[in-house]
Amino acid sequence: AAAQQCTVIMDSIFSGLEFDHSGYWELDHLVQKFVYSTQARLVLISGVAKEYAAGGLRFGYAWSANRELMQSLQSLKHRKIHYTLGYAARELFQAHVQQEPRLVQHLQTQKALLAERAKRLTEILQAKGWQVLKPSGGLFLVAKPQKYIEENQLDATKGADQMVAFLFEQQNLAVNNSTWTGLPGYCRFVLSVSEQSFNEALLRLQMLTD
């Protein structure tokens, strides 16, 4: 990319909650090489919005070592954050860098909980004829009602949207449909809900007829 004078935009906002590192990419050395290159055109998008969203902390940023790119970023319209949020974000980033034990333990516990929920939800959905995309981390799980679509000979997006509408109307389950995800046939389930809400949702899914 540097040789071709390309601008690279690296979005790591969803990083930090991985619980499966089997396909993990080690990009540290590449990023460092890019950052210190005089010809580098790298924009890094990151934050702490996903790891701590449940606690009400939603913060993101964009950064570049390239002065021209930074000037372009700063010219964009954006809201100035409140100083209390800025303070909390700085404290969190410092704790991340220093690997503060309580913070590390909190994230490990959260990752384990998300992995366990993804496993339980996957088992139930697969038993009901859904095709699940195995997650490697994060707050969501994406799946396709394959059996329903095939048995009713439906367009993938239309069939998935019908299933989501049924889940909401009959089981009071809120799921992002295929039109929302932009993935033909695939819907998005949320893992980051309260323990009671998650367990109730699993029971309602289990009650569905095959």
User: Which string of DSSP letters, residue by residue, matches 103-169?
Assistant: HHHHHHHHHHHHHHHHHHHHHHHHHTTPEEE--SBSSEEEEE-HHHHHHTT--HHHHHHHHHHHHHH
Say yes or no to pLDDT of 64 above 70.
yes
Handedness of CA 23, 43, 182, 17 (dihedral sign): positive
pLDDT in tens, 104-127: 888 888 889 999 999 999 999 999
Q: What is the pLDDT of residue 47?
A: 76
Q: Of the CATH numbers 3.40.50.300, 3.20.20.150, 3.90.1150.10, 2.102.10.10, which one belongs to the domain with range 112-206?
A: 3.90.1150.10
Q: Work out the widest C-alpha separation in the chain, in whole angstroms.
A: 61
For residue 203, the model assigns a pLDDT of 94
Residues 6+ apart with CB under 8 A from 198: 117, 191
| pLDDT surpassing 90 at residue 3 | no
- Domain definitions of the chain by residue range: 8-98, 112-206
pLDDT, tens only, 33-46: 777 666 778 888 88
- In this prediction, residue 209 carries a pLDDT of 67
pLDDT tens digit sequence for 151-161: 999 999 999 99
Q: 12 or 53, which is more confident?
A: 12
pTM assigned to the model = 0.78
